[in-house]
Amino acid sequence: MTLILFAAPALWPEYRDTLPAALTEAGIEATLVTEADPSQVDYIVYAPASPLQDFTPYSRTKAVLNLWAGVEKIVGNPTLTQPLCRMVDPGLTEGMVEWVTGHTLRHHLGMDRHIVNPGHIWDPTCPPLARERPVTILGMGALGSACAEALRALNFPVTGWSRTEKPGQLHGDHGLRRALSTAQILVTLLPKTPETENLLNADRLDLLPQGAVILNPGRGALIDDDALLAALDRGHIGHATLDVFRVEPLPRDHPFWTHPKVTVTPHIAADTRAITAARVIAENIRRGEAGEPFLHQVDRARGY
Ligand code: NDP
Ligand code: OXD
């Protein structure tokens, strides 16, 4: 069996040994290559930054296994007729939980006041307890639900909102209004789809409590940039910590870079980790070969 890796060359050393080892562990005999006759390729391991955009010649390929959780760059590709699976990787999830928890605690504890204190002001105001700081997470999938669990373990009251009705969560437009109205800290972990684009527009940002903080490790397009800047400027939003942007790298002249109430992190909230992701890929290939349903197969109609 032939597997081809389409990704930035820097990823080859990460997968060159880990993926064959995981395949062997799963009882699969396969060769991992970076170049092959397309008609001989059984599975494609794919990073959206790869130059491969025309999947037509891969007539024998049984699945495209995405290395990213987000699939918006590939899901609409009309040449892609093979099943597409997104990445749900325990290592990536762990990274996201750390990023979200760390940035939540930064704002919850008001750490900036003490880290940047040029006037050496002795302000003994104690922050509230986590149990008094409601957090809302938009998108309660693999990542959002893991973040909710970690924040709840620290006693934050977490409200989750997603597309479909689930016990203990909100959904729909009415649910979104409720979820936003209590969010002192808002975490956006939705995929980018036509339904989620500009979800946080001026009207919805207005629903947040005065001084709310936004953490966006989901996708830049979830938030209307101009509406966010306006809400920050008039003090309605207290701070925005943004990891993802409509254009990446974030252009040097973008106002987010210099805005005093914006923290930019360069799409580093969470990365797929080869050691854990290789096992997920191997399990999906095992399933493909056994005729079992793939894990994390993307529903093209939904777009995620
Ligand atoms: P999942 O597919 O597991 O979860 C997506 C969640 O979003 C689900 O709860 C889903 O609801 C909800 N959702 C989707 N569409 C809508 C909608 N229209 N309205 C309301 N809720 C909706 O994805 P992951 O948790 O694995 O990843 C989420 C996103 O995080 C990725 O798509 C990617 O954009 C981003 N990401 C960012 C990284 C970074 O480094 N910054 C790293 C990895 C991912 P339901 O369950 O009801 O369908
Ligand atoms: C992803 C990402 O989708 O890194 O995996 O953003």
Q: Which atom of ligand 1 is nearest to the CA of 138?
A: 21
Q: Which atom of ligand 2 is nearest to the CA of 271?
A: 4
Whether residue 68 sits in one domain with residue 53:
yes
Whether residue 223 sits in one domain with residue 100:
yes
Res 48: pLDDT: 86
Whether residue 153 sits in one domain with residue 56:
no
Whether residue 160 sits in one domain with residue 21:
no
304 residues of the chain, pLDDT tens digit each:
999 999 999 999 999 999 999 999 999 999 999 999 999 999 999 998 889 999 999 999 999 999 999 999 999 999 999 999 999 999 999 999 999 999 999 999 999 999 999 999 999 999 999 999 999 999 999 999 999 999 999 999 999 999 999 999 999 999 999 999 999 999 999 999 999 999 999 999 999 999 999 999 999 999 999 999 999 999 999 999 999 999 999 999 999 999 999 999 999 999 999 999 999 999 999 999 999 999 999 999 999 9
Assigned domain for 49 exists: yes
User: Whose atoms come closest to the Cα of 193: which ligand?
Assistant: 1
Active site residues: 219, 267
Whether residue 114 sits in one domain with residue 32:
no
- Kind of pairing, strands 237-242 and 212-216? parallel
Whether residue 10 sits in one domain with residue 151:
no
pTM score above 0.95 = yes
What is the distance between the alpha carbons of residues 299 and 112, in angstroms, rounded to a whole number? 42
- The CA 61 to ligand 1 mean position distance, Å, reads 27
In 3-state terms, what secondary structure has residue 91? helix
What is the distance between the alpha carbons of residues 189 and 217, in angstroms, rounded to a whole number? 6
The enclosing domain of 7 has a CATH number of 3.40.50.720
Assigned domain for 249 exists: yes
Closest C-alpha residue for ligand 2 atom 5? 68
User: Whose atoms come closest to the Cα of 220: which ligand?
Assistant: 1
User: Whose atoms come closest to the Cα of 277: which ligand?
Assistant: 2
Q: Which atom of ligand 2 is nearest to the CA of 270?
A: 4
Domain that holds residue 36: 2-89+272-290
Q: Which atom of ligand 1 is nearest to the CA of 244?
A: 41
127 in contact with ligand 2, CB cutoff 6 A: no
Whether residue 81 sits in one domain with residue 100:
no
69 in contact with ligand 2, CB cutoff 6 A: yes
68 in contact with ligand 2, CB cutoff 6 A: yes
* Amino acid (1-letter code) at residue 221: A
User: Please, are residues 222 and 196 in contact by the beta-carbon 8 Å criterion?
Assistant: yes
- The CA 304 to ligand 2 mean position distance, Å, reads 12
Assigned domain for 191 exists: yes
Assigned domain for 56 exists: yes
Q: What is the DSSP letter of 42?
A: S
Closest C-alpha residue for ligand 1 atom 42? 270
Assigned domain for 299 exists: no
70 in contact with ligand 2, CB cutoff 6 A: yes
Assigned domain for 226 exists: yes
Whether residue 241 sits in one domain with residue 105:
yes
Assigned domain for 298 exists: no
Q: How many CB atoms lie within 10 A of CB 250?
A: 17
Whether residue 125 sits in one domain with residue 9:
no
Whether residue 193 sits in one domain with residue 70:
no
User: How many separate domains does the chain show?
Assistant: 2
Whether residue 94 sits in one domain with residue 79:
no
Q: How far is CA 94 from CA 38, 109, 142, 282, in A?
A: 35, 22, 11, 20
Assigned domain for 110 exists: yes
Res 242: pLDDT: 99
Whether residue 148 sits in one domain with residue 83:
no
- The CA 54 to ligand 1 mean position distance, Å, reads 26
- The CA 184 to ligand 1 mean position distance, Å, reads 21
